[in-house]
Amino acid sequence: MTGSPREATPREMTARELARWSWRQLTSMRTALILLLLLAIAAVPGSLIPQENLDSVKVSNWQDAHTTLTPIYRRLGLFDVYGAPWFAAIYVLLMVSLIGCIIPRLFVYWRGLRAQPPAAPRNLLRMPAATSYETAESVEEVVARANAVLGRKRYRLRRESAAGEVAAEKGYLREAGNLLFHCAVIIVLVGFAVGSLFGYKGGVIVLVGDQYGFSNELTQYDDFAPGSLFKPDQLNWFDLHIHDFHVDWLTSGPRQGMAKGFKSEVQYEDGPSSPSKSYDLAVNHPLDIGGTEVFLIGHGYAPVVTIRDGKGDIVASGPRVFLPENQSFLSFGVIKPAAGNISAQGLFYPAEVTLGGVPQNITGDIGDKSAAMLSLQVWKGDNGMQDSEQSVYTLDTSRMTKVNDTGGRAFNLRVGQTAKLPDGLGTITFDDVVRWNKLQISQTPFKHVALGGVSLALLGLMGSLFIRPRRVWVRARETAGGTLVEVAVLDRSGNDEVDAVVSGLVAQLQGREVEEMS
């Protein structure tokens, strides 16, 4: 009696089999596309949520306004998306996946380049785009004409075709375009990765005026985000100051009073003994100093305030940066003297008007400063200046007492005015207003490599879109009535114009004047 065949029982994969299966899954094109999509999605929070390496002040303000979300976002690393471990994991997996996809395809493509075009199928007329005709020419004449026509069209001809057959193929560069595109993506990823590891990005607020300036030193930055492999000696030596700043304001329409264009007149020295140079710094027109780029990313106003104590001694004097809260540059700021017990916070109106007894800001254009107003709430007590964790743009009033004017309101000052504080605490004077610029200073090694990768990716994409791989077969055989010629074309890119290619090829084989065959 013949026994029944033994049924195969499933078994667990060995470690080697599991590793091989995992590698195949990781290096599949589907996985690469999924990882590329994940990378794009993961970058979205970086454009929606303020990033610490770009603007720490904006991050601090956002966190103060969203106290519930802040701990969650911080645990997820959403305030430094591009430096988060999960983002780096997606980045590395994508690179490994792309490399694993490309290397096998390179060998396949190399073998395809060396291989001859495939021989003609047995029944050409069953091809999707095929036709036949009869001619009085001999088989040899038809084959010679087909070789000549296809050779002029840069088709690669099969060297060892059967008698009476011609096989040709073109469009090999389409796959080269695909491979170039994927290689270019790797080049872009490597360029950005190296730039992130060895580069840096920092921000600083520089007051406008020849008496103010910035030196490219770590201690001068307001916020600084170095790469993991950055070394301080990479900082280029340069000094700069902003001689003047110009803003073009909209003077009519619904957006009247808003800025439409900015330009800073920068003076800089790129060496200890180098002469001073000039540059017009504008949005999307950065200054390049030895590979370090300086961008203009913001501007605002800094009221010049002097605070004196009850004895008449100056406890604070100079410009104080106020941060804009809207497009008309209504700005909020804090004055925290290191000495004394008087501090202040409040609003700055570049052009203040009173509507219903309430100050309003109608435009960001300060003009001749006569309409500017500084509205301050004054506090006395410990302002927390000894606390290194406290931002210079916030005032902790938990240990302070508010000081109001005689009417119980804030102190409203025009340029040149002085407010006398009650109880002999001292005075506050609004002396003047100066402008400030927010500069982003960055150094990104290999940025030209990344740019070259983007250019190669576009070139490869164009090749993969516009180059169409195509195979052509011509077969001729003698019949009772002459020579029967069969022609078939196979377009491997799914082009709908194959019938026109067939008819054009037939016309040329018959010697008729037709348009150039594609």
pLDDT in tens, 173-210: 888 888 899 899 889 988 888 888 888 988 999 999 99
Q: What's the mean per-residue pLDDT of the chain?
A: 85
| Cβ atoms of 110 and 116 closer than 8 Å | no
Per-residue pLDDT band at 390 (split at 50, 70, 90): low
Q: Is 59 left (phi over 0), alpha (psi -120 to 50) or beta?
A: alpha
Helix (H/G/I), strand (E/B), else coil: 68: coil
Task: Give which of 444, 447, 439, 445 is closest to 215, Cα–Cα.
Answer: 439
The pLDDT value recorded for residue 357 is: 61
Quick one: CA dihedral 83, 85, 90, 94, positive or negative? positive
The pLDDT value recorded for residue 496 is: 62
- Of 159-173, 336-350, 396-410, the range with the lowest mean pLDDT is 396-410
The pLDDT value recorded for residue 258 is: 72
Q: How far apart are CA 37 and CA 4, in angstroms?
A: 51
Phi/psi at 333 (nearest 5 deg)? Answer: -155, 170
Which ranges in the chain are annotated with CATH 3.30.310.80?
A: 125-171+472-509
DSSP sequence for 487-512: EEEEETT--TTHHHHHHHHHHHHTT-
The pLDDT value recorded for residue 354 is: 63
| Cβ atoms of 27 and 100 closer than 8 Å | yes
Per-residue pLDDT band at 83 (split at 50, 70, 90): confident
The pLDDT value recorded for residue 408 is: 67
Q: Which residues of 149-183 are buried (b: 16+ CB within 10 A; e: fewer)?
A: bbeebebbbbeebeebbbbbbbbeebbbbbbbbbb
Task: Give which of 490, 494, 517 is closest to 506, Cα–Cα.
Answer: 517
Centroid of chain to Cα 292: 18
Helix (H/G/I), strand (E/B), else coil: 439: strand
Task: Give which of 420, 412, 506 is closest to 130, Cα–Cα.
Answer: 506
One CATH from 3.40.50.150, 1.10.8.60, 3.30.310.80, 3.90.1530.10 for 125-171+472-509: 3.30.310.80
Other CB atoms within a 10 A radius of the CB of residue 228 amount to: 9
Q: What angle do CA 33, 36, 40 make, to 5 degrees?
A: 140
Q: Is 329 left (phi over 0), alpha (psi -120 to 50) or beta?
A: left
| Cβ atoms of 332 and 346 closer than 8 Å | yes
Quick one: CA dihedral 146, 148, 151, 153, positive or negative? negative
- Mind listing the pLDDT tens digit for each residue in 240-283? 999 999 988 777 766 666 777 889 999 999 888 889 999 999 98
User: Percent of the chain beyond pLDDT 70?
Assistant: 91
- Of 253-257, 371-375, 509-513, the range with the lowest mean pLDDT is 253-257
Phi/psi at 44 (nearest 5 deg)? Answer: -60, -45
Supply the pTM of this predicted model.
0.71
Half-sphere exposure of 478 (CA within 13 A, CB side): 5
Check whether 70 has a pLDDT greater than 60: yes
User: Percent of the chain beyond pLDDT 90?
Assistant: 31
- Mean pLDDT, residues 470-485 taken together: 90
The pLDDT value recorded for residue 515 is: 47
